[in-house]
Amino acid sequence: MNTTCLIIDDEKLARELLREFLEAFPQIEIIGECSKGTEAVEQIDKLKPDLIFLDVQMPGMNGFDVLDEIEHEPYVIFSTAYDQYAIKAFERNAVDYLLKPLDQERFKLAVERALKRKKMEDGNLEELLGSLRPVNTRTSYDTHLFVQKSEKLFNLPVEDIIYLEASGDYTVISTKADQFVSSSGIGKLEELMNPETFIRVHRSTIVNVNFLKEIERHFNGGMIVKMQNGKSFPVSRTYAKLIRKKVV
């Protein structure tokens, strides 16, 4: 079954390049193009594409405005000349964020990531089970991570991380001073960190207990962890037992 795709960019040359790069993926069917945000909202809800390539800066309505207006929820790959919107894009659960001028190999990786996510979410049980990580048996853990921002790699002390949040195939890492996007999934990063310090409270959230302020219990048995910076996260039933182990 083909994956349908809509290209949204106000530059004709950019749309043509996307079409050219997509020729390497016969399983993707391009069902339309849009050069304006308002047109994109209409076409997304009408055509219901599986995947969209979305520019950020467009006249009248930007890419994030488009996502706010649509009812249909496609997989989104941003394609833009502006790197400052990457964090916001991944907070919107974007599959990937490509910077212009587009690199064909990097484009290929993004498309393959989108196709893989679609396949998994369509119910491919075998692949889903294969993605489950083995039990962590490590006795030593990383003290520093190298994380990318723009074109630089930052040496990030693990102890400075307040929490990690999954965003599709990526992970948003938050410290007191900054945020970083890692191309590693949250499960892979969890393996690098000491489970005595970094506790998973939800399938999409890991918190550093050193920055945990308090835990709220709800009448229905649920819990919410509150961090020192004011951020709160729900605790899923699956991971609640990890919290209860630390209650004395």
Range of the domain at 57: 3-129
- The span from the CA of 79 to the CA of 94, in Å, is 11
How does pLDDT run across 86-130, given as a tens digit for each residue?
888 888 889 999 999 999 999 999 999 999 888 877 654 344 444
| Claim to verify: residue 47 and residue 164 sit in the same structural domain | no
Backbone angles phi, psi at 227, to 5 degrees: -90, 165
Is the domain of 125 the same as that of 16? Answer: yes
45 shares its domain with 105: yes
Arithmetic mean of pLDDT, 145-166: 90
Q: What is the CATH number of the domain that holds 183?
A: 2.40.50.1020
Establish if 104 belongs to a structural domain: yes
pLDDT in tens, 31-55: 999 999 999 999 999 999 999 999 9
DSSP label at residue 158: G
Number of neighbours of residue 134 by Cβ within 10 angstroms = 6
Residue that finishes a domain, picked among 106, 129, 152: 129
Residue 160 is assigned to a structural domain of this protein: yes
Mean per-residue pLDDT for 9-35? Answer: 95
The verdict on residue 195 lying in a domain is: yes
Cα three-residue angle 158-162-166, rounded to 5 degrees: 95
Q: What pLDDT is stored for residue 133 in this prediction?
A: 43
Query: What is the spatial distance between Cα 163 and Cα 160, in angstroms, rounded to a whole number?
Result: 9
In the structure, what pLDDT confidence band is assigned to residue 168 with cuts at 50, 70 and 90? confident
**What is the model's pLDDT at position 138?**
56
Among 161, 167, 144, 170, which residue's Cα sits nearest to residue 231? 161
43 and 105 within one domain? yes
Give me the pLDDT at residue 113, please: 92
C-alpha span between 119 and 121 (Å, rounded): 6
Q: Is the residue at 136 inside a domain?
A: no
Specify the number of domains making up the chain: 2
Name the domain boundary from 102, 129, 156: 129
Q: What are 119-144's pLDDT values in tens digits?
A: 877 654 344 444 444 445 555 788 99
Please give the structure tokens belonging to residue 145.
């991570």
Q: Give per-residue pLDDT as tens, 205-238.
A: 999 999 999 988 765 567 889 999 999 998 887 7
